[in-house]
């Protein structure tokens, strides 16, 4: 990789790690609260009150199910559910990581996160004969089992044959998922792919894979929005809602970072 491009990736990675402190709801509220303390120390009490108020309101709004559902909907509604039966044929299924948390200590068995729908959907597509190849993409920190390998272990237990799976074990983010997968797919003359990831993540993933000229069929799954009656509780803070809001904001920041660093 050229040195300039490698430097760009490093800078992008650092910004991706630092942005949560300033732009995600919890980090932003903490920063604003600390700023309010500084303003009090400097005798600017009215400014401190205003800053603290902004911090509280920001955290409150982003912690409500109503806001969380709205912002998740802006990402998910572009990719409505499509049944396995109606999903078209393709040359390969590309499964993005993000559904394992690591190995359970002393067992060698991967623990699954809430995004496990990705894994199950990819398995269902393969078993339905939608593509002959299943590419698993996802790395990990040095010294830890790559997520692609963890996913393979689970898919083997689900009856997916070893020979059908190809692993990409080096990527650490969506941009690398696409870049490293592209090299593997091109070597196998793959043109049309079924891209499997969470619905909220599909928009960013499709943008990244489209850069490499593939014909992409979104195979979205793991929908965060579900049918439920609206209640007054939707306006009260909830930890799960804050997680959902942060997840959606992270997607928009990821798309923005992709535009900035490709400009």
pLDDT at 1: 46
Structure tokens at 170: 């080096």
Rg of the chain, C-alpha, whole Å: 21
**In the chain, what are the domains?**
3-77+237-262 (no CATH), 92-221 (3.40.50.620)
pTM of the entire predicted model: 0.86
Cβ atoms of 135 and 118 within 8 Å: the answer is no
**9-13: which pairs have CB atoms within 8 A and are 24 or more residues apart?**
11/261, 12/175, 12/257, 12/261, 13/172, 13/173
Cβ atoms of 80 and 256 within 8 Å: the answer is no
Q: Check pLDDT > 60 for residue 97.
A: yes
Q: Check pLDDT > 60 for residue 3.
A: no
The whole-chain average pLDDT of the chain stands at 89
pLDDT at 7: 56
How is residue 182 annotated by DSSP?
A: H
Helix (H) or strand (E) holding 93: strand 92-96
**51-59: which pairs have CB atoms within 8 A and are 24 or more residues apart?**
55/28, 55/29, 55/30, 56/29, 58/25, 58/28, 58/29, 58/32, 59/25, 59/26, 59/29, 59/237, 59/242
pLDDT at 103: 82
C-alpha atoms less than 13 angstroms from C-alpha of 11 in its C-beta half-sphere? 11
The position carrying tokens 């729908």 is: 117
Residues pairing with 96 in the sheet? 137
Helix (H) or strand (E) holding 220: strand 215-221
Greatest alpha-carbon pair distance for the chain in Å reads 69
* pLDDT tens digits for range 139-172: 888 888 899 999 999 999 999 999 999 999 999 8
* pLDDT tens digits for range 169-218: 999 889 999 999 999 999 999 999 999 999 999 999 999 999 999 999 99
């Amino acid at each position: 990789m050229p040195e300039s491009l490698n430097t760009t990736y490093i800078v992008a990675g650092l910004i991706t790690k630092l942005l949560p402190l300033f732009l995600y709801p919890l980090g932003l509220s903490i920063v604003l609260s600390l700023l309010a303390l500084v303003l009090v120390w400097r005798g600017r009490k009215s400014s401190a009150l205003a800053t603290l108020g902004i911090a509280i309101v920001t955290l409150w709004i982003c912690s409500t199910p109503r806001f969380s559902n709205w912002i998740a909907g802006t990402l998910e509604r572009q990719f409505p559910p499509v049944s396995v039966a109606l999903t078209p044929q393709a040359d390969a299924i590309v499964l993005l990581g993000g559904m394992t948390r690591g190995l359970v200590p002393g067992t060698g068995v991967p623990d699954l996160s809430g995004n496990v729908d990705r894994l199950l959907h990819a398995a269902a597509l393969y078993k339905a004969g939608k593509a002959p190849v299943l590419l698993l993409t996802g790395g990990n920190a040095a010294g830890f089992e790559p997520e692609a390998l963890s996913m393979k272990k689970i898919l083997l237990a689900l009856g997916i044959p070893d020979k059908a799976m190809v692993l990409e074990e080096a990527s650490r983010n969506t941009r690398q998922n696409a870049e490293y997968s592209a090299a593997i797919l091109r070597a196998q003359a793959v043109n049309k792919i079924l891209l499997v990831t969470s619905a909220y993540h599909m928009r960013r993933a499709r943008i990244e894979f489209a850069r490499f000229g593939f014909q992409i069929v979104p195979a979205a799954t793991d929908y965060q929005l579900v049918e439920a009656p609206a209640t007054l509780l939707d306006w009260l803070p909830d930890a799960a809602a804050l997680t959902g809001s942060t997840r959606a904001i992270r997607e928009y920041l990821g798309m923005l970072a992709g535009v900035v660093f490709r400009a």
